[in-house]
Amino acid sequence: MKPHRQRDALSDRITAYIGLGSNLDGPSGQIQHAFMEMGALSHTSILARSHLYKSRPLGPQNQPDYINAVAKLATELEPLVLLQALRKLEEAHGRQRTDEGRWGARSLDLDILVYGDICLDTPELTLPHPGIHLRSFVLYPLAELAPTLVISGHGTVQALRDRCHTPAIERYEEAANE
Ligand code: A4P
Ligand code: MG
Domain-embedded: residue 7:
no
* Whole-number pLDDT of residue 173: 86
Q: Give the C-alpha distances (Å, rounded to integers) separating 57 from 31, 77, 102, 116, 168.
A: 16, 31, 12, 28, 9
Please name the residue whose Cα sits nearest to atom 41 of ligand 1: 21
Domain-embedded: residue 2:
no
Is 8 annotated in the active site?
no
CA distance 6 to 8: 7
CB crowding 49-66: b at 16 or more within 10 Å, else e: bbebbbbbbbeeeebeeb
Domain-embedded: residue 57:
yes
Task: Give the single-character DSSP code of 7.
Answer: B
* Whole-number pLDDT of residue 59: 92
Domain-embedded: residue 27:
yes
Please state whether 101 falls in left (phi above 0), alpha (psi between -120 and 50) or beta: left
Domain-embedded: residue 6:
no
In the chain, the number of structural domains is: 1
Q: Which residues, at least 6 apart from 125, have a Cβ–Cβ distance to it below 8 Å? A: 79, 80, 83, 112
* Whole-number pLDDT of residue 90: 97
* Whole-number pLDDT of residue 7: 54
* Whole-number pLDDT of residue 1: 40
The rounded Å distance from CA 47 to ligand 2 centre is 22
Range of the domain at 133: 14-173
* Whole-number pLDDT of residue 103: 84
* Whole-number pLDDT of residue 46: 97
Domain-embedded: residue 105:
yes
Task: Give the single-character DSSP code of 162.
Answer: H
The rounded Å distance from CA 109 to ligand 1 centre is 7
* Whole-number pLDDT of residue 119: 95
Domain-embedded: residue 5:
no
Domain-embedded: residue 1:
no
Is 111 annotated in the active site?
yes
CATH number of 52's domain: 3.30.70.560
* Whole-number pLDDT of residue 102: 79
Where does the chain show beta strands of DSSP type E?
A: 14-22, 44-49, 53-55, 66-75, 109-115, 120-121, 126-127, 150-151, 155-156, 169-171
Note the pLDDT tens digit of each residue in 3-36.
455 555 456 899 999 999 999 999 999 999 999 9
Is 171 annotated in the active site?
no
67 contacts 171 by C-beta, under 8 angstroms:
no
| Percent of all residues in the chain with a pLDDT value above 90, rounded to a whole number | 81
The count of residues in the chain is 178
Task: Show the low-confidence residues of the chain (pLDDT under 50).
Answer: 1-3, 9
Active-site entry in 13, 49, 109, 135: 109
